[in-house]
């Protein structure tokens, strides 16, 4: 799986959009970008994934650059409950749940 | 919805003791895996399984055994606990279809003294 680089931490104001960057410059053509988050010490929670096109669901939006070397997870209206560690993971979809977790980005949403 | 269930939630072991961490899923997922998470770190893959009867090693398999006799269960055995195995252990499962996101259990916090 391709390696990813994320900033170690970031703060966000409640109600504002949170933009979380991820660099994956060595991504291969068949590798997807997945985002998970971990609140406190709970099990990681799936957020969203994409291959080439931008994706949106009820939780977030995922913007992938045209060259696929980086992406941004957008939490449109951050709430205090979005405080968590966010992990960007790149993997082949057929790899099942063999996930390689980096250090993630620790997001603190402030009132 | 039960999802992925791990037991126990907390456990304290003495060095040299053995124990089994239980993991069960009710989503008929083929893939299951075990991760450990040390303080301030990301999760690391211990062992994984792509179906009943099939297991393989992950990144940090030493000191752990697994078996997959049924689709639902994937127990993790610590053969002879060591303080270095103090960690939080997470089990995950996922399907083989188009939406292959992984579902994680709530974790087992293990302390070896």
Q: Which of residues 26-45 of A touch B (CB under 8 A)?
A: 34, 36, 41-45
What pLDDT score was predicted for residue A41?
Answer: 83
Contacts of B32 in chain A (CB under 8 A): 97
Q: Kindly report the nearest CA distance between residue B94 and chain A, in angstroms.
A: 6
Question: Do the Cβ atoms of B100 and A102 come within 8 Å?
Answer: no
Closest alpha carbon within chain A to B33: A97
| Residue with the larger pLDDT of the pair A60 and A30 | A60
Q: Kindly report the nearest CA distance between residue A66 and chain B, in angstroms.
A: 23
Q: Kindly report the nearest CA distance between residue B75 and chain A, in angstroms.
A: 16
What pLDDT score was predicted for residue B39?
Answer: 87
Reduced to 3 states (helix: H, G, I; strand: E, B; else coil), residue B81 is coil
CA B97 to chain centre: 22
Question: Do the Cβ atoms of A43 and B90 come within 8 Å?
Answer: yes
How large a percentage of chain B has pLDDT more than 90? 86
Reduced to 3 states (helix: H, G, I; strand: E, B; else coil), residue B32 is strand
User: Is the separation of the CB atoms in B90 and B35 below 8 Å?
Assistant: yes
Mean pLDDT of A75-94: 91
Q: How confident is the model at residue A78 (pLDDT cuts 50, 70, 90)?
A: very high
* Backbone phi, psi, residue A62, to 5°: -120, 120
Q: Strand pairing partners for A13? A: A110
CA A55 to CA B65: how far, in whole Å? Answer: 39
Question: Do the Cβ atoms of A46 and B105 come within 8 Å?
Answer: no
Give the CB-side neighbour count of residue A22, counting CA atoms within 13 A: 32
What pLDDT score was predicted for residue A1?
Answer: 63
User: Is the separation of the CB atoms in A85 and A22 below 8 Å?
Assistant: no
CA A94 to CA B11: how far, in whole Å? Answer: 34
Q: Which of B21, B42, B90 to mutate to test the interface with A (most CBs of A within 10 A)?
A: B42
Look at strands A105-110 and A9-13 and give their pairing.
Answer: parallel
Q: Kindly report the nearest CA distance between residue B4 and chain A, in angstroms.
A: 10
Q: How confident is the model at residue A43 (pLDDT cuts 50, 70, 90)?
A: very high
């Amino acid at each position: 799986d391709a390696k990813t680089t994320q900033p170690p931490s970031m703060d966000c104001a409640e109600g504002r959009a949170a933009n979380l960057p991820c660099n994956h410059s060595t991504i291969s053509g068949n590798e997807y970008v997945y985002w998970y988050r971990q609140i406190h010490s709970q099990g990681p929670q799936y957020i969203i994934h994409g291959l080439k096109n931008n994706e949106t669901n009820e939780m977030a939006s995922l913007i992938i650059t045209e060259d696929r070397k980086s992406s941004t997870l957008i939490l449109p209206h951050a709430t205090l409950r979005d405080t968590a560690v966010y992990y960007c993971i790149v993997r082949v979809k057929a790899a099942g749940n063999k996930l390689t977790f980096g250090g993630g980005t620790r997001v603190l949403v402030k009132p | 919805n039960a999802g992925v269930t791990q037991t126990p939630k907390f456990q304290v072991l003495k060095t040299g003791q053995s124990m089994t961490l239980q993991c069960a899923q009710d989503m008929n997922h083929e893939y299951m895996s075990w991760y450990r998470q040390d303080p301030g770190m990301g999760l690391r893959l211990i062992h994984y399984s792509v179906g009943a009867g099939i297991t393989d090693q992950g990144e940090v398999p030493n000191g752990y055994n697994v078996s997959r006799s049924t689709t639902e269960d994937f127990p993790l055995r610590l053969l002879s606990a060591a303080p270095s195995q103090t960690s939080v252990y997470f089990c995950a499962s996922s399907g083989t279809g188009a939406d292959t996101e992984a579902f994680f259990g709530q974790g087992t916090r293990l302390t070896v003294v």
